[in-house]
Amino acid sequence: MSRPISRVLMLLELLQSGGLRTVGELAARLEVDERTVRRYADHLLDLDVPVESVRGRHGGYRIASGHRMPPLMLSDDEALAVLLGLLAGRRAGLTTATGSASETAAAKIRRVLPERLGRRLDAVLGSLAFTAPPGTSAAPESAVLLSIADAVRHHRPVSIRYTAADGRAGERTVHPYGLVAHAGRWYVTGGDPAAGEGRTFRLDRISDVRALPGSFDPPAGSDPAERVLSAIASAPHRYEVTARVRGTAEYVRARLPAGIAIVEELPSEGGRGSDTEPWSRVDMRVERLDWLPAVLASLDRPFVIERPGELRALVARFAARLAESARSR
């Protein structure tokens, strides 16, 4: 698309947003002079778009009220952003009272998309798992996300250019199993044929994706979301924390932040009464310990800290503060 045509369409988008736009404002947004803005407005009039000119000190251009604009036109990035936003809204409960508005809006957008783009977006939405509400982080390139989603859907190996956390960049061959959005970051889980093991990659660290010939069979019962959470929980941090908590693994997992703790229920030692309640082992990797005493107390279950010793001291001081507060009047 030539530069003048793209700017005429940009002018149309600005005017469609509603209200009166001054010539100076439009010139600044389009990065042209005011005379060129007037020429672009004439182009829209030639296309039967009812652009009204308002004279005066605060005059400018607007679309005539009651005019029905042409069908919505979206780029690949815009269509992906809209559909992902609708999906995230439904996952977070940000829907209308009926709960159907976002679904009907997505269906309308999906119907008018070109078949090629529709298939690629279906690949993203069909392979995506959400583990937590969205956060703020570096977003992946749309081309990277779409290409990997297509590979997930069709079980195709890909070659990626990946920059690791230590800054080292290199080519990797990956068998992608699934996409996961967690706490504002995107991940792809898959097999690493060279290493013969599963791997997890952040999409914002992938700069290029190239489809490779052939196909692969994903392992049966693989859970990409669980894989991502386990990888995050076991990543190296300043402190390694191990504790035993009286309670089932299901109970403990429901009360600890996802992606923070690896919880494993320990074999029962038998006995009667309350002694039959199982213990669970909790392993965490954290940068700070100061928030853990309150979290452990919130479990409302007996617990034993195995390591580190500093955490035991913090829990003791936390308990003393609670006791002092309880005695205060």
Averaged over 52-59, what is the pLDDT? 80
Residue 195 and residue 189 in contact, taking contact as beta carbons nearer than 8 Å = no
For residue 69, is it within any domain? no
What is the pLDDT, as a whole number, of residue 218?
Answer: 87
For residue 216, is it within any domain? yes
Mutual angle of helices 3-16 and 23-30, in 10-degree steps: 130
Taking the C-alpha atoms of residue 235 and residue 221, their distance in angstroms, rounded to an integer, is 23
Residue 131 and residue 182 in contact, taking contact as beta carbons nearer than 8 Å = yes
Mutual angle of helices 76-91 and 142-154, in 10-degree steps: 70
313-323 pLDDT tens trace: 999 999 999 99
Give the chain's mean pLDDT.
81
Specify whether 209 is located in the same domain as 94.
yes
156-197 pLDDT tens trace: 999 999 998 788 889 999 999 998 887 667 889 998 888 788
Q: Could you tell me whether strands 185-192 and 197-202 are parallel, antiparallel, or unpaired per DSSP bridges?
A: antiparallel
**Owning domain of residue 158:** 76-230
Taking the C-alpha atoms of residue 232 and residue 155, their distance in angstroms, rounded to an integer, is 25
Specify whether 303 is located in the same domain as 245.
yes
Class of residue 293 by CB neighbours under 10 A (exposed 0-12, middle 13-18, buried 19+): buried
Mutual angle of helices 23-30 and 34-46, in 10-degree steps: 90
Domain final residue, candidates 179, 210, 230: 230
Specify whether 84 is located in the same domain as 51.
no
Of 71-85, 126-140, 242-256, give the lowest mean pLDDT range. 126-140
pLDDT of residue 3 exceeding 60: no
Q: Could you tell me whether strands 60-63 and 51-54 are parallel, antiparallel, or unpaired per DSSP bridges?
A: antiparallel
Give the residue with greater pLDDT, 211 vs 74: 211
What is the pLDDT, as a whole number, of residue 247?
Answer: 92
Q: Structurally, how many domains does the chain consist of?
A: 3
pTM of the model: 0.51
What is the CATH number for 291? Answer: 3.30.70.250
What is the pLDDT, as a whole number, of residue 180?
Answer: 87
What is the pLDDT, as a whole number, of residue 211?
Answer: 92
Averaged over 111-133, what is the pLDDT? 73
What is the CATH number for 36? Answer: 1.10.10.10
**pLDDT tier at 269 (50, 70, 90 boundaries)?**
low
What is the pLDDT, as a whole number, of residue 20?
Answer: 87
